[in-house]
Amino acid sequence: SQQGEEDPQALSIQEGENATMNCSYKTSINNLQWYRQNSGRGLVHLILIRSNEREKHSGRLRVTLDTSKKSSSLLITASRAADTASYFCATDEGSGGGADGLTFGKGTHLIIQP
């Protein structure tokens, strides 16, 4: 079953604009991660935010986490054509026993128009 649900399903913006994607999940988590997937580089880890963190930055990426609302957002600033990809949030529900497989959402397909 899919834990996270990204919103919107698809997003098209002009190069240089900011892109915001949201993710909602259902159960308690240890951490939430964002991944990017495109045909050229496959599935790549972008950023991890722990359940006790509220905001995290990495380059042009900003992630927020609101555990009370079970939601997260990913902001990409000053978008570039190379940012065109599908973006997935993934949660680790921490079921114990060393099981830390990720539960992914359906993804947001981002298109950056030149």
Residues at the site binding another protein, with contacts judged by CB under 8 A: 2, 4, 30-31, 33, 42-45, 48, 50, 88, 90, 92, 94-95, 97-107
| Token pair in block for residue 98 | 């060393």
User: Whole-number minimum distance, CB 104 to another protein, in Å?
Assistant: 3
Helix (H, G, I), strand (E, B) or coil at 80: coil
Nearer to another protein, 69 or 99 (CB): 99
Helix (H, G, I), strand (E, B) or coil at 53: coil
User: Whole-number minimum distance, CB 114 to another protein, in Å?
Assistant: 25
Nearer to another protein, 42 or 114 (CB): 42
DSSP state for residue 81 in the 8-state scheme: G
| Token pair in block for residue 7 | 């919103």
Q: Report the amino acid identity of residue 68.
A: S
